[in-house]
């Protein structure tokens, strides 16, 4: 009981911080923008956590799904649709695509699935470049108008960041609910051993595809809102580097925990902006971070703390603790 | 009481006066987002070399100082956008400038128009940068569809009803040039066959070179990107296309040097070249100084970034209040009627921020290790809307 | 057959072979490393580019003879591989699902190298062109081909033949294949498994470097080739069968020829889609590849 209360307390604190940040930063549009981008990262990292942390699949086409949603949403609203309806259709469509792209996960595991998802991501990026009529090719789409609100006003500035904060909070709550539910427990069972899960009577196919749908929904809602917020999208906005960066946030924070990826996103998302003046070393820093996480912090920050806290590390963390001699 | 108000009023006036003088001494900041690293950095660094030369003469004593805050965008649109946002909000620059690639320029263009920041594009030729309704963006380089128009006029003059083979890489800029050429060629009786597109990341063109040769064209218009441009050119020459059949739409110094001795006789388009027939005194000085400093002659990239600095100086000199107000700065640029200091070509922007356009065609005469000789063979100027540029390229 | 058709035919065959041999070399390097250590080296494209850039620096900036420069560059891969092996690679030799750790690790290396290249070499990215190994042009009937390219082709073919013989007939090659098949059994038979791991990492990278150098000799290049090469090499390895050198060889040449043919009848972009599609299908329905042992 106290554990449950404590969990929701953490959510309340997170929600409070999320809503306070845009209000506190409203005086400086640049910092407020960084906060906005961080909310996207929190949402995306939370969605990838469902796949990578709880289902045990590392998808590298996450960015591509966000991109499909962004292009569909922008395309529809350019044809006169209301942004919100377009976003609904775009997100659901992209999530259905996400299920299809998740199909290989039924046959492939571990590295083979990840490689497959990398190929899919490459195909998606190529397609964004190739179908110039739909996507404007490598030039990208600029001048993306802000979403209209009822009453003819535009969603802009601090209000936009508050919407993003809401979405991020909802994302974390949804993940928590899923993890606590029997659906979440079935996913964890699949992560540990999907053969065993099958013999326990779990319909692995259906669970995996459901996980892909939900995670893709995280990706695509983010993608749809990202486009007007930044005002510009191009195939490069949603390439494999985005997927990798989200993966780093999840792994760095600690996969398979609710707060690990959130912490990872909050720490890492502002890094490119902070490093703006040190542009030359940005890629190198990110690369070192990836290697550092794999070599030194296989359980992420939260995993590391947990491991220190408890003498008998839980099985999942011990399994990730890579260099066993 | 009255006295008190008076003192307060005087104090306020004094404070105001102090702050305005402080403002007058503060330098005018211009954000310069360009490609210092990444695939187009050979453009961005050339541009900065030209800008640096201008900066030397840019701030005579007694005039309001102009400062360029240079930021790298890694040739990535999203970085360019983030940098533009930072310069706008954090550094409060009067205007943005700098990109030498159409992709990064378009990303900043969207931001500048939405947030009302004047944006002077030195070197990016994608037509949509100045599409109708553009208010804050001004482009110094002629648009790429127009280059295609110019190539058609050039070929038609050399050989009426010639057959052109068109080979290009699938980049926005190259597509725009090709679109302009394909639109203009039939209007002056030229035929385009074959037309071959290479996707980004292609490394070989032998087979396509063979296809080109098999079609027996009079001219081959070669629009490659980066290293592939060299491969493409060499493979065409390998398979027996003659240098004087080859037309490159644009040639910057490093490219001409890369094409090398075997390309002597081939043609390239440009907007400034050390070998132009007519250079102003300042233009000659610019070429000499640039050569001394960088060990090679400048081309249009360097010239346009040099010119950008002069345009900003002139706009502020003609209208000092433009230095602190973006709307006034925008109007000052829009109203400007001036000339490129180096070549004397007029600079006048139309209502969309596009310039009255022009192009030179040069023929390579000799290529050394760090220098080359070429001869001006054709000059043309035209109104940006001589062809429907904004409909041709979306 | 008219001259025109003959020219197109010959250009297709030579281009296909040229690209195919280089693809094969790189894919063989990647597959040797994967087959033994179980390391999918996603940084293969960056290594390939590193070699090409280094060859450019040594031959153009330092003015070395191209052939000498090539040897120097391939030699330089050995200390680099050793350093990486000691620093990173050997930490994971005994981890059960190490292929995914390695995959992510090498994606990190990719990021670092591409960052470094962008800062250092980016400025010259339109100038990467090596002086020819052998100047001049040879006529194959009506079709002119640069001697330089013929030389690069010949060297690639010879290298592949040597590699093949090494793996088939030499003691080291047999030990390597034993480790490929079953590492525990190999260890029981007295094979120094870790020694073989290190050797194959070094050998694999040297082969990738050789591919990069030969590519640089034959073509102008820029920084974007790294990613294209990485994806292509992976596709070849997966279709040919991870760990199968014969598979990498055959599929590499098939890829080269397909690319050359496809670029006549369809746009080269379609060829790129076709590769990736083929790779997906193989991954899904025959993950051990076409040449599984």
Query: Residues of A with CB below 8 A from C283's CB?
Result: 104, 108, 112, 115-116, 119
Tell me, yes or no, whether B298 and B224 share the same domain. no
pLDDT band at B13 (very low <50, low <70, confident <90, very high): low
| Interface test with chain A among C115, C116, C230, by most A beta carbons within 10 Å | C115
CA distances from B96 to B71, B105, B316 (A): 11, 10, 15
Residue A308 has pLDDT above 90, yes or no: no
Query: Residues of A with CB below 8 A from B198's CB?
Result: none
Q: Which residue has the higher pLDDT, C293 or C139?
A: C139
Pick the range with the lowest mean pLDDT from A71-75, B266-270, C65-69: C65-69
* Number of structural domains chain B divides into: 2
Q: Is C225 on the interface with B (CB under 8 A)?
A: yes
The chains found to touch C (3+ Cβ pairs under 8 angstroms) are A, B
Query: Residues of A with CB below 8 A from B170's CB?
Result: 129
Q: Which residue has the higher pLDDT, A16 or C266?
A: A16
Q: Is B172 on the interface with A (CB under 8 A)?
A: yes
Residue B23: per-residue pLDDT: 53
Pick the range with the lowest mean pLDDT from A32-46, B13-27, B120-134, C47-61: B13-27
Query: Residues of A with CB below 8 A from C98's CB?
Result: 322
- Which H or E run includes B29? strand B28-34
A231/B37 touch (CB, cutoff 8 Å), yes or no: no
* CATH code, B197: 3.40.50.2300
**Cα of B138 to nearest chain C Cα, Å:** 27
Share of chain B above pLDDT 70, in %: 94
**Cα of C132 to nearest chain A Cα, Å:** 33
Q: Which two tokens stand for residue A178?
A: 């899923």
| Residue B275 within any structural domain of the chain | no
Q: Could you list the residue range(s) of the whole structural domain that residue B344 is in? A: 10-142+282-355
| Residue B195 within any structural domain of the chain | yes
Residue B212: per-residue pLDDT: 92
Tell me, yes or no, whether B313 and B266 share the same domain. no
Residue A320 has pLDDT above 60, yes or no: no
| Interface test with chain B among A143, A271, A272, by most B beta carbons within 10 Å | A143
Q: Give the pairing of strands B372-382 and B119-121.
A: unpaired
| Residue B169 within any structural domain of the chain | yes
Residue B58: per-residue pLDDT: 87
| Residue B319: CB atoms within 10 Å | 17
The Cβ-side half-sphere exposure at B216, using a 13 Å CA radius, reads 2
Query: Residues of A with CB below 8 A from C272's CB?
Result: 126
pLDDT band at A27 (very low <50, low <70, confident <90, very high): confident
pLDDT band at A321 (very low <50, low <70, confident <90, very high): very low
The chains found to touch B (3+ Cβ pairs under 8 angstroms) are A, C
Tell me, yes or no, whether B263 and B376 share the same domain. yes
A232/B77 touch (CB, cutoff 8 Å), yes or no: yes
pLDDT band at C1 (very low <50, low <70, confident <90, very high): low
Residue C153 has pLDDT above 80, yes or no: yes
B272-329, pLDDT tens digit by residue? 999 999 999 999 999 999 999 999 999 999 999 999 999 999 999 999 999 899 999 9
Its sign, for the CA torsion B13, B15, B18, B22, is: negative
Residue B12: per-residue pLDDT: 52
Closest residue on chain B to C117 (Cα): B38
Residue A2: per-residue pLDDT: 63
Tell me, yes or no, whether B256 and B386 share the same domain. yes
pLDDT band at A1 (very low <50, low <70, confident <90, very high): low
| Interface test with chain B among A74, A130, A139, by most B beta carbons within 10 Å | A139
| Residue B30 within any structural domain of the chain | yes
Q: Which residue has the higher pLDDT, B170 or C53?
A: C53
Pick the range with the lowest mean pLDDT from A243-247, A310-314, C208-212: A310-314
Q: Mean pLDDT, chain B, as a whole number?
A: 89
Residue B164: per-residue pLDDT: 96
- Under 8 Å CB-to-CB from C47, ≥6 apart: which residues? C41, C77, C113, C205, C208, C209, C212
Tell me, yes or no, whether B149 and B246 share the same domain. yes
CA B139 to CA B157: how far, in whole Å? 28
Tell me which residues of chain A have a C-beta less than 8 Å from any C-beta of chain B.
28-30, 33, 129-130, 132, 136-140, 142-144, 230-232, 234, 236-237, 272-273, 276, 279-280, 282
Rg for chain C (alpha carbons), in Å?
Answer: 19
pLDDT band at A314 (very low <50, low <70, confident <90, very high): very low
Tell me, yes or no, whether B382 and B254 share the same domain. yes
B315-340, pLDDT tens digit by residue? 999 999 998 999 999 999 999 999 99
Query: Residues of C with CB below 8 A from B262's CB?
Result: none
Closest residue on chain C to B42 (Cα): C123
Q: Are B218 and B240 in contact (CB under 8 A)?
A: no
Residue C2: per-residue pLDDT: 78
Tell me, yes or no, whether B14 and B108 share the same domain. yes
Residue B188 has pLDDT above 70, yes or no: yes
* Range list of H helices, chain B: 2-25, 41-58, 77-89, 102-115, 144-158, 172-184, 206-214, 226-238, 253-259, 281-294, 300-318, 326-335, 389-392
Residue A185: per-residue pLDDT: 92
Tell me, yes or no, whether B110 and B259 share the same domain. no
Tell me, yes or no, whether B99 and B209 share the same domain. no
Q: Where are the domains of chain C?
A: 3-117+125-285
Average pLDDT over residues A188-204: 87
C106-149, pLDDT tens digit by residue? 989 998 998 899 888 887 877 888 888 888 888 888 888 889 88
Residue C81: per-residue pLDDT: 95
Q: Mean pLDDT, chain C, as a whole number?
A: 88
Residue C243: per-residue pLDDT: 83
Residue B24: per-residue pLDDT: 57
CATH for the stretch C3-117+125-285: 1.10.3470
* B194: preceding bond cis by omega (within 30 degrees): yes
- Under 8 Å CB-to-CB from B72, ≥6 apart: which residues? A279, A280, B33, B34, B35, B36, B37, B44, B79, B83
| Residue B263 within any structural domain of the chain | yes
Tell me, yes or no, whether B291 and B262 share the same domain. no
Query: Residues of C with CB below 8 A from A110's CB?
Result: 97, 99-100
Average pLDDT over residues C283-288: 80
Residue A319: per-residue pLDDT: 41
Q: Are B311 and B120 in contact (CB under 8 A)?
A: yes
Residues of B (46-105) whose Cβ lies below 8 Å from A:
71-72, 74, 76-79, 81-83, 85-86, 89-90, 102-103
Q: Which two tokens stand for residue A217?
A: 């929904």
Residue B185's φ and ψ, nearest 5 degrees, are: -55, -50
Size of interface B-C (CB pairs under 8 A): 122
Tell me, yes or no, whether B183 and B125 share the same domain. no
Average pLDDT over residues A13-22: 94
Q: Which two tokens stand for residue C264?
A: 């006549």
Tell me, yes or no, whether B201 and B224 share the same domain. yes
Query: Residues of B with CB below 8 A from A33's CB?
Result: 85, 89
**Cα of A230 to nearest chain C Cα, Å:** 24
């Amino acid at each position: 009981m106290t554990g449950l209360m404590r969990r929701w307390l953490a959510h309340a604190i997170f929600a409070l911080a999320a809503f306070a940040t845009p209000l506190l930063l409203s005086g400086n549009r640049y910092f407020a923008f960084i906060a906005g981008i961080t909310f996207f990262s929190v949402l995306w990292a939370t969605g990838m956590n469902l796949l990578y942390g709880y289902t045990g699949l590392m998808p590298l086409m996450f960015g591509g799904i966000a991109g499909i949603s962004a292009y569909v949403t922008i395309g529809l609203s350019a044809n006169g649709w209301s942004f919100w309806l377009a976003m609904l259709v775009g997100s659901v469509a992209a999530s259905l695509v996400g299920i299809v792209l998740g199909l290989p996960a039924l046959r492939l595991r571990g590295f083979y699935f990840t490689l497959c998802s990398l190929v899919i991501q490459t195909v998606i990026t190529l397609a964004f470049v190739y179908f110039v009529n739909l996507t404007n090719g490598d030039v990208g789409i600029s001048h993306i108008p802000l979403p209209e609100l009822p009453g003819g006003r535009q969603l802009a500035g601090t209000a936009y960041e508050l919407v993003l904060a809401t979405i991020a909070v909802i994302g974390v709550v949804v993940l928590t609910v899923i993890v606590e539910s029997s659906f979440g427990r079935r996913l964890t069972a699949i992560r540990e051993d999907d053969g065993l899960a099958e013999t326990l009577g779990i319909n692995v196919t259906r669970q995996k595809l459901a996980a892909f749908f939900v995670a893709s929904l995280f990706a695509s809602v983010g993608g749809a809102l990202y486009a007007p917020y930044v005002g510009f999208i191009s195939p490069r906005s949603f390439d494999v580097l985005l997927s990798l960066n989200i993966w780093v946030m999840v792994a760095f924070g600690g996969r398979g925990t609710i707060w690990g990826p959130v912490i990872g996103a909050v720490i890492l998302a502002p890094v490119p902006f902070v490093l703006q003046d040190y542009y030359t070393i940005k890629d190198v820093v990110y690369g070192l971070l990836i290697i550092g996480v794999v070599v030194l912090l296989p359980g992420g920050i939260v995993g590391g703390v947990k491991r220190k806290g408890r003498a008998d590390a839980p099985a999942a963390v011990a399994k990730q603790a890579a260099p066993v001699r | 009481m009255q006295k008190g108000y008076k003192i307060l009023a005087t104090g306020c006036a004094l404070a105001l006066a102090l702050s305005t003088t402080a403002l007058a001494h503060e330098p005018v900041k211009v954000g310069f987002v360009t490609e210092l690293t990444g695939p187009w950095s050979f453009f961005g660094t050339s541009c900065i070399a030209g800008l640096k030369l201008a900066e030397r003469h840019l701030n005579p004593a007694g005039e309001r100082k102009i400062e360029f805050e240079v930021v790298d965008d890694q040739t990535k649109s999203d970085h360019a956008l983030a940098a533009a946002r930072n310069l706008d909000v954090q550094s409060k620059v009067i205007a943005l400038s700098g990109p030498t690639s159409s992709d990064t320029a378009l990303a900043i263009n969207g931001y500048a128009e939405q947030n009302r920041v004047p944006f002077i594009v030195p070197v990016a030729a994608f037509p949509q940068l100045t599409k109708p309704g553009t208010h804050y963006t001004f482009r110094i380089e002629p648009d790429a569809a127009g280059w295609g128009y110019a190539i058609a006029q050039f070929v038609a003059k050399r050989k009426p009803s010639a057959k052109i083979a068109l080979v290009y890489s699938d980049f926005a800029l190259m597509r725009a040039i090709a679109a302009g050429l394909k639109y203009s060629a039939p209007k002056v009786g030229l035929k385009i066959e074959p037309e071959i597109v290479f996707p980004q990341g292609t490394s070989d063109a032998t087979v396509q070179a063979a296809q080109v040769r098999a079609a027996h064209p009079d001219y081959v218009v070669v629009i490659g990107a980066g290293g592939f441009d060299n491969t493409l050119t060499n493979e065409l020459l390998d398979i027996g296309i003659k240098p004087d059949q080859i037309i490159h739409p644009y040639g910057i110094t490093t490219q001409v040097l890369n094409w090398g001795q075997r390309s002597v006789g081939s043609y390239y388009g440009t907007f400034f070249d050390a070998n132009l027939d007519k250079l102003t005194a300042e233009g000659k000085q610019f070429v000499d100084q640039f050569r001394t400093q960088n060990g090679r002659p400048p081309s249009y990239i360097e010239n346009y970034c040099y010119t950008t600095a002069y345009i900003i100086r002139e706009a502020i000199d003609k209208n000092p209040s433009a230095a602190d107000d973006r709307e006034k700065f925008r109007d000052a640029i829009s109203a400007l009627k001036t000339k490129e200091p180096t070549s004397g070509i007029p600079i006048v922007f139309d209502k969309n921020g596009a310039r009255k356009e022009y192009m030179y065609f040069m023929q390579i005469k000799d290529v050394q290790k760090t220098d080359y000789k070429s001869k001006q063979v054709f000059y043309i100027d035209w109104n940006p809307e001589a062809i429907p540029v904004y409909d041709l390229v979306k | 057959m008219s001259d025109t058709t003959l020219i197109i035919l010959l250009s297709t065959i030579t281009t296909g072979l040229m690209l195919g041999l280089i693809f094969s070399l790189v894919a063989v390097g990647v597959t040797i490393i994967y087959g033994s250590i179980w390391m999918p080296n996603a940084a293969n494209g960056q290594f390939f580019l590193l070699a090409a850039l280094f060859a450019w620096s040594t031959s153009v900036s330092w003015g070395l003879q191209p052939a000498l420069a090539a040897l120097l560059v391939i030699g330089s891969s050995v200390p680099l591989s050793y350093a990486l092996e000691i620093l990173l690679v050997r930490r994971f030799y005994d981890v059960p699902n190490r292929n995914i750790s390695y995959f992510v690790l090498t994606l990190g290396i990719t990021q670092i190298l591409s960052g470094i290249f962008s800062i250092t070499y980016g400025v010259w990215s339109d100038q990467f062109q090596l002086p020819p190994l052998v100047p001049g042009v040879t006529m194959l009937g009506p079709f002119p081909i640069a001697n330089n390219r013929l030389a690069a082709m010949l060297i690639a073919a010879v290298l592949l033949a040597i590699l093949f013989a090494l793996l088939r007939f030499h003691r080291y090659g047999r030990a390597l294949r034993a480790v490929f098949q079953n590492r525990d059994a190999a260890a029981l038979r007295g094979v120094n498994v870790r020694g073989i791991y290190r050797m194959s990492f070094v050998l694999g990278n040297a082969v990738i470097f050789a591919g990069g150098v030969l590519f640089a000799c034959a073509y102008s290049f820029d920084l974007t080739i790294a990613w294209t090469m990485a994806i292509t090499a992976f596709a070849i390895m997966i279709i040919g069968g991870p760990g199968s050198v014969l598979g990498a060889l055959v599929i590499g040449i098939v890829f080269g020829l397909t690319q050359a043919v496809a670029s006549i009848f369809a746009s080269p972009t379609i060829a790129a889609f076709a590769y990736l599609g083929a790779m997906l299908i193989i991954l899904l329905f025959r993950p051990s590849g076409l040449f599984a042992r």
